[in-house]
Amino acid sequence: MYRFNSTWYEGSYSRWMEYSVKEDVVFCLCCYLFKNDYVKGNAGDFFTKTGFKAWNHNLERFQLHVGEVNSVHRRCFSKMLDFENQSQSIQVALNKQSEKKIRSEHRTHLEASTNVARFLLKFELSFRGHDESEYSKNKGLFLGLLEWLGKMLPDLNNVILKHAPKNAMMTSSKIQKDIVSACAQETVKAIIDDLDGDFFEMLVDESKDISHHE
């Protein structure tokens, strides 16, 4: 019996051949997708619309459909490969460069916020201000120091506060607390590493028990 043979999927036609079980015909995927870019009208619709099923002449017709080096099928096939390899396209490369730049700007911004937090923690200074709105003249030390750093360092000013990429200012109270928590964890880790498994004691001045005796 002449019929579709699944072993054809293992040959050179496997990249473009699509078989419809319902219609019992073969289609060409790349020509279906891109043929209209090269051919106008209904020329050669066997592999794109009506489907091919002349099984007694299958291999000859497949080869005829593929054609010479510059045939419509080969051009469609090349276009399909380019479509599959979009990760190599110029636009994707530009997007990756843009994402890389944004990540770098985020890191610079986060480092500035972390350094400000470390300074305030070292000297036990308060972070928040009573009014932290954009036009406030006393936003608190955290935002005030960030603004001051921006004025001193123009490159930093381009990536912090209102100039932050994608409006990720990273100045909310939650983020400030996250930075403080991270500093606390790193401090504890540094102390533990310094002790190196040794014993230690803590002396707490004027600690009272329940009877109010020191």
Are 54 and 114 contained in the same domain?
Answer: no
CB 29 within 8 A of CB 17: yes
Predicted confidence at residue 137, as pLDDT, reads 83
**Domain presence at residue 211:** no
One-letter identity of residue 33? L
Are 103 and 191 contained in the same domain?
Answer: yes
Q: What is this structure's pTM?
A: 0.47
Are 79 and 101 contained in the same domain?
Answer: no
Are 122 and 186 contained in the same domain?
Answer: yes
Are 80 and 137 contained in the same domain?
Answer: no
For 107-130, the pLDDT digits (tens) are: 888 899 999 999 999 999 999 888
Predicted confidence at residue 120, as pLDDT, reads 94
User: CA–CA separation, 72 vs 45, rounded Å?
Assistant: 12
By C-alpha distance, which of 167, 168, 165 is closest to 101?
A: 165
Are 31 and 77 contained in the same domain?
Answer: yes
Are 107 and 184 contained in the same domain?
Answer: yes
The residue from 61, 84, 107 where one domain ends is 84
Predicted confidence at residue 124, as pLDDT, reads 92
Tell me which residue range forms the domain holding 150.
97-195
- Strand positions, DSSP E, the chain: 17-20, 25-28
**173 Cα distance to chain centroid:** 26
180-193 residues labelled b (16+ CB within 10 A) or e (exposed): beebeeeeeeeeee
**Domain presence at residue 44:** yes
Predicted confidence at residue 162, as pLDDT, reads 82
Predicted confidence at residue 96, as pLDDT, reads 67
Q: How many C-beta atoms lie closer than 10 Å to residue 26's C-beta?
A: 24
* Domain total in the chain: 2
Are 164 and 104 contained in the same domain?
Answer: yes
**Domain presence at residue 203:** no
User: CA–CA separation, 85 vs 139, rounded Å?
Assistant: 51
**Domain presence at residue 212:** no
**Domain presence at residue 202:** no
Predicted confidence at residue 95, as pLDDT, reads 67
User: What DSSP line would sit under 123-180, residue for residue?
Assistant: TT-----S--STT-S---HHHHHHHHHHHH-HHHHTTSGGGSGGG----SHHHHHHHH
For 84-101, the pLDDT digits (tens) are: 776 666 666 666 667 777
**Domain presence at residue 184:** yes
Q: How many C-beta atoms lie closer than 10 Å to residue 17's C-beta?
A: 19
Are 116 and 139 contained in the same domain?
Answer: yes
DSSP letter assigned to residue 137: S
User: CA–CA separation, 119 vs 132, rounded Å?
Assistant: 19
pLDDT < 70 regions, the chain = 1, 40-44, 86-97, 166-167, 214
Are 68 and 101 contained in the same domain?
Answer: no
Predicted confidence at residue 90, as pLDDT, reads 63
**Domain presence at residue 157:** yes
**Domain presence at residue 115:** yes
